[in-house]
Copies of this chain bind each other. A is one copy, B any other.
Amino acid sequence: MMERCSNHVKMVLMATHTRRTERRTDALSKERIVEAAIEILDAEGESALTFRALAARLATGAGAIYWHVANKGELLAAAADDVIARVMTGVAGGAEPRAAIRVISSGVFDAIDAHPWVGTQLSREPWQPAIVQIFEGVGGQLQALGVPERAQFDSASALVSYILGLAAQYAAGARLLAPDTDRSAFLATIAERWMQLDPAKYPFVHRVATQLPEHDDREQFLAGIDLIVAGMTAAR
């Protein structure tokens, strides 16, 4: 048969053989591969995740990895899904909806803060499982928030788009930020560049440039969430 991997095929194979007895204790598996990928991503950044580096860390060859994972996109999606799933299970139910949305949002933010590559991945493939999890998490609160049925789809989409947008922004910042320099110095550089723009063409940018270095990303992110939630309940 020699079929190359796809989850569906794998499932069928496992089903016919009653149950997979693990062949060796050090056997490769999608879980072990994803785990190793996350370790590389966290330790050395997005650009360090190559199939060669991954193979070296797992003491195997690139071909073996492709038996378990279809391609790099699937690997990254699985890694991001893994991180987001941990965030979403950490969110307990039963809270007041406004608070629940804040908890989910800040959980996602903190996850991206800790693993910037997740931000890149989320904005690269919007229909991956990780996004659906977030969509469900915030969408499930809207009924309790009093958002009319007809507006719930648009509202949840707006929240998710906002989260995605910030995810991309933050991840991009982390990508070009040297690992040792701190963020406020980096933002000061951006602010300086803003100051050098033509004040006639960019009056607003000039006005807020001073606020850029001293602002708190996390607070600004949550302020945006509050803004959108306020809009949802106001436009009753």
A interface, CB within 8 angstroms of B: 123-127, 132, 135-136, 139-140, 142, 151-158, 160-169, 172-173, 190, 193-194, 197, 201-205, 207-208, 211-212, 215, 220, 223-224, 226-232, 234-235
Q: Which of B165, B173, B193, B215 contacts A166 (CB 8 A)?
A: B165
Interface pair B136/A202, CB less than 8 Å apart: yes
Interface pair A227/B232, CB less than 8 Å apart: yes
Inter-chain pairs besides A153-B211, A230-B231, 17 sampled, C-beta below 8 Å: A125-B172, A127-B173, A127-B190, A127-B193, A135-B204, A158-B162, A161-B169, A164-B169, A165-B165, A168-B168, A226-B235, A227-B228, A227-B235, A229-B231, A230-B234, A230-B235, A234-B234
A sample of 10 cross-chain residue pairs with beta-carbon separation below 8 angstroms, ordered by A number, consists of A124-B168, A132-B194, A139-B205, A142-B204, A155-B227, A164-B169, A168-B168, A227-B228, A230-B234, A231-B234
Interface pair B162/A126, CB less than 8 Å apart: no
Closest to A219 in B: B154
Interface pair A154/B234, CB less than 8 Å apart: no
CB-defined contacts of A231 to chain B, threshold 8 Å: 226-232, 234
